[in-house]
Amino acid sequence: MAKQRCCFAAPQSSAAERFTAFRHHVIIIKIAKEARELQNNQYKSFDDLPLMLTVNNVAEVLGISRTGAYELVRRPDFPTLNIGKRIVVPKEEFARWVRENTGKLTP
């Protein structure tokens, strides 16, 4: 029986083509992982949120991408606390910001 090769390891492909196919493969895996994480959102209520939210927490709670969350935390009106290179958002300030910007969250 012939040994099966992965789609990005075809012998007739150039190294650049195999690398591009491999990168696409990795991107698809990351997208699938993010989709699973969004479906398994662990936060069902305000009380479930940690005291300090990370950028990933903000993305998960708001249902946006990490890139979108980073854009949000860089806005001057968004409440962040910088600890070295780490960006955190206090839970109560996050709730206040959401209320002020949507009027829909009540802790």
54-72 burial: b if 16+ Cβ within 10 Å, else e:
ebebbbbbeeeeeeebeeb
Domain shared by 62 and 83, yes or no: yes
Identify the domain containing residue 21 by its residue range: 11-39
Residues 87 and 70 in one domain: yes
Residues 60 and 77 in one domain: yes
Q: Is the pTM of this model over 0.95?
A: no
- Span 66-91, pLDDT tens digits: 999 999 999 999 999 999 999 999 99
Q: State whether 34 and 54 are in the same domain.
A: no
| Residue that is written with structure tokens 């949000």 in the block | 72
In the structure, what pLDDT confidence band is assigned to residue 21 with cuts at 50, 70 and 90? confident
Domain count for the chain = 2
Q: Is residue 34 part of a domain?
A: yes
